[in-house]
Amino acid sequence: MSVKKTFAMGTTGEKIVAKVMRDNDIECEKETDHKKRYDHDLNCKIGRKKFTVEVKYDAMAQKTGNIAIEHHNCKKDEPSGIARTKATIWAHVVLDEGFPTVWIANTKNLRVWIENNTPFKEIYAGGDDNACLWLYRDTEILYNAFTRVDNLDKEKATKLIRSLAK
């Protein structure tokens, strides 16, 4: 997949997640500081609590039934994705019958889950040909490490996000 297409999907994912946050009365905007682009994608605020979000748009999940977690930049030979982000919350956008769904996890808790659950496959040079990815079955990782947030009412969504933003 081209860098341009990957970037466009990432931007789309960020807009989807930011909208879900705003729909639940959470202030949320794209990180614009170029120096922080590997730290997180969105800056959010719920009440007085500020937190950050890493967003991944998994374009292949609907087709394959797998969730890809990026962990290394193969071209630069450096940590990326889950291994590099400083975000409080990890948001994964997955299509369901063509419609985007938003799944979120506390990043630290997701790292622990990944440490305790071996991926069934590793992909080298995926995405825009620079990402090393761990693949998990969607039913395994989504239902055990994430919570879907886009389908919750405002009270439940806000409570969930507040609890994950610790």
Per-residue pLDDT reduced to its tens digit, 76-91 = 999 999 999 999 999 9
**pTM listed for this prediction:** 0.93
Q: How far apart are CA 110 and CA 46, in angstroms?
A: 21
pLDDT, one tens digit per residue, over 126-152 is: 877 889 999 999 999 999 999 999 999
For CA atoms 137, 69, 41, 61, give the dihedral sign. Answer: negative
- Bridge partners of 92, per DSSP, are 56, 103
Domain boundaries, the chain: 3-164
Cα 70 from Cα 74, distance rounded (Å): 10
3-164: CATH topology is Trna Endonuclease; Chain: A, domain 1 (3.40.1350)
